[in-house]
Each structure stands twice: as structure tokens, then as C-alpha cells.
Amino acid sequence: MEKKDVPTITEHITSTLNEHEIRLGKVQKLQTQGKNPWPTYKLTTATIAQARTEFETSRDEIKVYSLAGRLVGLRDHGKTFFGHMQDRSGKIQIYFKKDEIGEQAFTFLKDFIDIGDIIWLNGVLFTTKTGEVTIKVKSFELLSKCLHPLPEKFHGLIDVEQRYRQRYLDLISNPESREKFQRRSKIVQAIREFLLNLDFLEVETPMLHTIAGGAIARPFVTHHNAYNIDLFLRIAPELHLKQLVVGGFERVFEINRNFRNEGISTRHNPEFTTLEFYIAHGDYKKGMELTEQLLQHVVLKNFQTTKITFQGKIIDFTIPFKRLTLEQSLIEIGELTPDQINEKNIDATIKQHNIVIPPGAGYGIKLFALFEALVEGKIVQPTFIIGHPLEVSPLAKRDEDNPNLTARAELFINGMEFANLYTELNDPIDQAERFKAQAQAKAAGDEEAHAYDAEFVKALEYGLPPTVGCGIGIDRLVMLLTDTTSIKDVILFPTLKPVKE
């Protein structure tokens, strides 16, 4: 048996360019005949999914449907054509018969309609001998001419990067991508539903900040011409949200974008989406309970169970999640001894594991560096890490039992941080002192250190009630719940380096 010839990529590109010229020629012919290749819309009576559902529940009833969608397949059988059309709800087989639509329309179909065109059609549904639900076309019209062939079946999209640069082609060609972004929308909807049912108020806070605050990160800088000042794209909405709590909005949340001028990887995009919520009259323990309830709610809204599969591993969202102190995690997961992580021996331990830390780093920063190097990547099941050093938590309240630690928790799943929450620092004097320490670090060259924010300190002086806040990375959550290993696959338009035309 001879092997079927598969076109090379070069042949595919050449044929694509030729096809573009052919389709432009069809447009010119249509316009010469006084026909618009991009006319106004035609009224539809159902989506493909609705028509299919109605047909399958009442097959004896003959009903004419008007549908519209993209032609994604077309096969010429002489006096008939079979093809497939898809809209936002799904795909269906379509059947054109010369005797049914008339010779003029059939000739128009052969001469001017191509795969990729968006068409309107009128017809009735039936089932073929092979059992496939099909629509028999009675009439059709061209709604929008596609000037380029869709990715052909041998190569699909030529490379992965093209899927990101031309996401529309990815969505047209790959059902998996469409399903992934539909799932993303449902995840965000489930988050919003959970919080609104608990009397939270959804708000929007500024994207342009005069001070890059609310997190430890390197910002993007822009310039406002009218005020002639530099501004920062926000790295976090935290400080504005806490000011709303001061103002009396005791339960607030925001789902929106943050921007950080840092590296790009399979887990990081400079522009990313987060959820941040704040509850007055609560602490980090209450925050952990709410966070795990929220995540379990989202999982159950998208799956039939609290157990999901990610890259072959079972992740269990049954609550309560595991809780470990930072030191416990270094011993239990990092396989260190208590002696190795005490102040006397920690430098030797860091050197032994070749961990780089900033000059002059204190004990807390060293301890957290060990955690990031030896523990974080090994955590699989949802686990809260608590007992963070003061040095790495400039906005968190001190732990009442140990003033060198903060009332903070981070949630890790499958080696990634998914949530950061803490009892908010509401002592304006303590906050001012920590801002001063951060400002000194920034002056010494730490580009990620927090600037001194006098406006926020002033807001605290009016009284922030005992409050807990939490931030959750939406993109990473979507990655986990769609079994995706690259953040670019769950962001519709990820940040990419421009290419020359």
C-alpha cells in the first residue's frame, strides 16, 4: 500500500498564498456582479445546539431553522455538497442538494463559497444513514467572505506561537482551546457567584498608580502628559481596596488585571488576572477557611467531584486543606533538621544548597529563601503555609504569639502559589515604620521594594477595622482546572515579543 502524500510546510505556505489570490479574485467577481461579500446580518432562529436539542427531543416534528456560522468543511459530490458549519454552540453537518436549492444557488456555492466563509442558511434537520444529525439546506447566503484558507488538516497551525499570535485561528480550528476559554469564563463566574452570595461588593480600583504599591514587584512605568508625571501600571489593587474598607465597605472584591515588569515563563505573564477580596472583622484563619470554601465551590461547579486530575496527578480539594508552618514545611518536605534552620546554622545550610540571597538579608529572608528553593516545588496537595517572617510580609499584621512572624498564609498546589492572604496591618505607626524600611531597601538598589505611601498611612490613621485580605491568581487556577502546563494557553492574548512583518 502506498503511503498517502502529505504536503511539506513549504508547499503548504505556497498553496496558502495562492489560495489568498484566488479568494481575492472571487471577491472582485462578486463586486462586479453587484453582490456584497460582507453584507448585513440575517436573522437566525436558533443556535446549532438549540436546533439539535429540539430535533432530538421531537424528531417527528418538521421545523425549519435559520442558522448562521462558519463553514469549516465542504466536500463536492457532483450534484450535492456535504460540509460542516460551526457557531458558538457547536458544529453540525450540512447538506446542499442541487434540486433543493436550485441551479443558480448551487452554481454560486461551487463558484464562490469556500471553507472559512461565514454563511446563513435555512433548512430542516434529518438523520443520515450513518446516524449523523444533518441540516438539509433550502436556501443560503454568504455573510462574510474569508480571504485566507483555514489551517489545513495535515499541519493545523504551523507552530505553537502562531496559536498565541493568531488566537482567532486557534479558536476556529481547535475545539480544545475553545473549551478551555469557556471553562475559564465559568471559573470566574463561579468565583463571583460565591462572593456575591456572601454579601461582597464588587468594585473597580485604578490601574494607574502614583506609587507602585500593594506588593513587592518591579512595575511598568508610563507618563501622563497633562500632569507631566510618571505613573505606574498597578502591581496590585490592595491599598485601594483596604481604603474602601476604611470607608465602610466591609466586604469588597475585585477581579482584574495586574502588571509586573518581570520575567516571562510558563507560569508568569507580565499582564495577569487576580481576585482580591477583603473582609472586615476577620483574621487570616477566617481567610483560610473562606479561601478553601471558595476553591471547593469553583471545583464542584466545574466537576462532579472535589478530586481533579492534573498531569496524571490527583489533586484533592476536599476541605480542610493541610496547614504547615514555614519551619514545619522545611523539616517535613524540605528534609532539613531543626538545627540546620536555626539562626546559628542557616548560613551554612544556604551555602550547602547554593541558594543566592540579597546582601545583608536577615534571618527571615534566609528562611523564606530555603522554603522557595527546597519546599515550594514539592507541594502537590492544597497546603497552607503559615508563620511567615516579618521581613517578607510588609503589609501583614504581626502574629500576636510571635512578633517576629506575621499572621499570614500562602496556599500552594502542585508546586505553585495560588493564594496569598493575611490579617491586614491596621496599625498606622507600625505600617509607617515598615514603609520606611522598604524605602531604605529601595534606595539601596532593591527595585522590588515597596515605596513609602503616605496617603495609605493617612487612611489607616482614620481606622481600618480588623481585616483579612486574600489574593488568588486566576490564570494559575484556570491552568490547574484545565490541566494546562503553560499560562499562555489560558490567556487569550498573552504578551509576546513583536515580530517584523
pLDDT mean across residues, the chain: 92
Q: Residues 6 or more apart from 381 whose CB is under 8 A from it?
A: 315, 316, 321, 322, 413
pLDDT tier, 1 (very low <50, low <70, confident <90, very high otherwise):
very low
| Grid cell locating 71 | 463553514
Nearest of 372, 378, 405 to residue 391 by alpha carbon: 405
The one-character DSSP state at 2 is: P
Section 225-233 average pLDDT = 96
% of the chain with per-residue pLDDT over 70: 95
| Helix-helix angle 284-302:175-196, to 10 degrees | 140
How far is it, in rounded angstroms, from Cα 490 to Cα 71?
26
pLDDT tier, 501 (very low <50, low <70, confident <90, very high otherwise):
low
- Which of 4-8, 54-58, 125-129, 496-500 shows the highest mean pLDDT? 125-129
Q: Is the dihedral of CA 384, 390, 394, 395 positive or negative?
A: positive
Backbone phi and psi for residue 380, each to the nearest 5 degrees, phi listed first: -110, -60
For the cut 80, the answer to whether the pLDDT of residue 144 exceeds it is: yes
Q: So what's the architecture of 9-156 in CATH?
A: Beta Barrel (2.40)
pLDDT tens digit sequence for 447-470:
777 788 999 999 999 999 999 999
pLDDT tier, 8 (very low <50, low <70, confident <90, very high otherwise):
low
pLDDT tens digit sequence for 316-340:
999 999 999 999 999 999 999 999 9
- Given this model, what pLDDT does residue 244 score? 98
- Given this model, what pLDDT does residue 217 score? 86
More confident residue, 2 or 340: 340
Nearest of 14, 113, 37 to residue 73 by alpha carbon: 113
Section 129-133 average pLDDT = 94
Section 144-155 average pLDDT = 81
Q: Residues 6 or more apart from 422 whose CB is under 8 A from it?
A: 284, 287, 388, 393, 395, 396, 397, 406, 407, 408, 409, 468, 469
Q: Residues 6 or more apart from 370 whose CB is under 8 A from it?
A: 330, 334, 336, 341, 346, 349, 350, 353, 355
**Residue for grid cell 469553583:** 298
Number of neighbours of residue 413 by Cβ within 10 angstroms? 21
H or E, element range at 433: helix 428-443
User: Topology of domain 175-334+375-489, per CATH?
Assistant: BirA Bifunctional Protein; domain 2 (3.30.930)
Question: What residues does each domain of the chain span?
Answer: 9-156, 175-334+375-489
For the cut 90, the answer to whether the pLDDT of residue 405 exceeds it is: yes
pLDDT tens digit sequence for 356-404:
998 888 999 999 999 999 999 999 999 999 999 988 888 889 998 888 8
pLDDT tens digit sequence for 78-101:
999 999 999 999 999 999 999 999
Number of neighbours of residue 151 by Cβ within 10 angstroms? 21
- Given this model, what pLDDT does residue 3 score? 44
pLDDT tens digit sequence for 248-304:
999 999 999 999 999 889 999 999 999 999 999 999 999 999 999 999 999 999 999
Q: Residues 6 or more apart from 233 whose CB is under 8 A from it?
A: 207, 208, 209, 219, 220, 222, 259
